[in-house]
Structure 1
Amino acid sequence: MTISSQSVLMANRAPYTPQRLPQAFYETASGAGQMRQPAALPDAPRVPDARYREPVLRPPPPLEPAPYRIGVGDVVLLATKSAGSTVEQLSGLLAAQTQRQGFTVRDDGTISIPDVGAPRIGGLTLEEAENELFEMLLANGMNPAFSLEVQDFNAHKVVVGGAVGSPSVVPITLQPLTLRLAIAAAGGLAVPDTRFATIRIFRNGSLYEIPVAEFDDDADLQDTILRSGDAVFVDLTYDYDRALEYFRQQIDVIALERQSRQQAFQELQAEIAFRQAALNERRSNFQTRLDLGAEARDYVYLSGEIANQTRLPLPFGQKASLADILFEAGGFDVTTGNPSHIYVLRPSPEPEEFGAVTAWHLDARNPAAFTLAARFEMRPDDVVFIEEQPITRWNRALRQFFPVLINTARSALGD
């Protein structure tokens, strides 16, 4: 039958599922595992009582409120506001309209988003991080309909200890952390008499003091802004040396935590490298089997008036058209091949119809008709046959006839 729009639809109805590449070609090493959590902080050291001395007001230099900057260990949430095709395009990143997924900022300041990449958002404000993600999604051809927020604030912290309800590490969030909020997060002050208590703030090697009595009466002192790395100690002893030792021990604890996180990050990198090597080995083994012909493939066969009569494997993961097969083979020479007689021969898949063949005819002299070749899907064991030109048939007949005629004439003259 002639290849037409209707016959192409009929031919394409034949069921066929293209072969898939092994799973190793679809996996990535970035999903090898999660970084283990660092060890918990040790208990705050005890500071024994000491002799009383008159407290002196020495507050830290005032700080201007600044936007929160995302740091290592923070967990950010990405969420989409759209559904339908947008969700399908962002399948690994944003699964549904009301679903959100958290990503931990790694030691190099990046987050790993499947199918998107590893944007570096460490040290950026939320607005700057949104711009970075917006550009990356656009670069990947995705609809950048998303919202970004910080779920867990783990990067910037203030240590609060001494005479408080619950000595703890207080995270700094989007709202500037004031001295009043930090003490409240640690359970509030636990001092029997405010006249004999001092709030000490250790910052960058300097020690600042705020008597609790003055702190209670002065809103400006209560609104003192703290920054990451500050250590706050509510002291009942007024012992400078022992308070300083407490702060040094807290700094050592933070250093140990950072060292533990770095070690966990190195372990994760080693696991990813091992997984990458395993994936590469599996892919290489598959390629070797493919080169040696040890992997089953679906083929289409080319014959007739074509440069190289051969078989071509159908691609993995997608369907090939008649035009793909013709151009993959390098096309054909129209001086010998007849473009008006291109045939696709398809054997019947039914066992009881063994030997039955359906033939489709394409007249490629008409460019509009040739466009149908790009829509005609190939199936395993199809045979593409290109008939020879009439003049080619005569030329070959003459080339075979003339040697016989000359030899006959020579024999007659010789006789």
Structure 2
Amino acid sequence: MRIYWLCLFAAALAACAGSQGYMAEEAPADAGASVSVQMINAPWLQAEQQRRTRRSRQDIGGLLGDTPSPYQIGHGDILTIVVWDHPELGAGAPAAQAQSAPPAGDGAGVPAAGFVVDHDGLVQFPYAGELRLAGLTEEQARALLAERLARYISNPVVTLRVQSYRSQRIYIDGEVRNPGLQAINDLPMTLVEAMNRAGGPLPTADQSRLLLARGEQRYLLNLPQLMQQGVNPARILLRHGDVLQVPSRDESKVFISGEVVAPRALTMHNGRLTLNEAMGEAGGLTPQGDGRQVYVVRRAGGEPQVFQLDARAPGALAMAEAFELEPRDVVYVAATRLANWHRNISQIFPGALSSVVGAAR
């Protein structure tokens, strides 16, 4: 009986070798040639870190050149105008304009009483006639009105203020407490100011992948990385029409599979997750895992990129800690040759290997 099982085991080995040879012969000659494998080593990691730093600085280079400037009046703004010692000039005309004024920018249902800048940027004021105030600051608009009134009033003293800011706005969407429209007022609308006005980010927000849309341009902002590089996010000024998207952390996951204890989808920590951390959260390699074949598959620009780490090499843990994963990366640990051989035998003859071992004993 023992000889029978040994013969059966030898036949299984021959069948396995024959099937593997057939598959190798039938495989196309250029299979896998289009995808190159980059070994993860110290020189490549150093060059990759420098490339990441240059890319992050280039992404925000076009956002740091703006300087705060006084608010410019625009169409839709509601102005409060007072001519000292002439209260009659502030009555009647403002009330008439307020009848057709839309609701104020603060969401109040009752229109604010004041002078509305029309769609042409004009305001009508007694004695002064039509004034083109769009594009002017409060100080410039005040000087222009005083100049017009000086023809009829001696040394007019004018107070002009923007009562409701409605001409310039930005939009914030995503993982913030109060998403929606934010009006730009006399305070500079910086990135930090906009986030605070929206109630701040939610615990589920990924602050490492803020997306700022400005016209045709798209800027990817990493707030923790900016702080580490000494760049104050308050230097980033937002403009009228900007759209700020705060994504969820669930959209930035890394997938780990293969010969690991607990294959799963891992959530990145503010956009950062190293290969070493991913392997640790997955419980490490199983006994069937081949430490020489730890792969990271990444799709960038439509073309897949494959990186390989030899976890048995000296300094592998340090290199795994320095390798930063990106959202949607796939980490795969291949099985050893012995594990693959055992599985092939088990698929061809279920239970044959166990029976042979038991018979040999």
Higher relative contact order (CA 8 A, sep 6+): 1
TM over 0.5: no
TM-score, normalised via structure 1 length: 0.38
Q: What TM-score do you get using the length of structure 2 for normalisation?
A: 0.44
Higher strand share: 2
Max Rg structure = 1
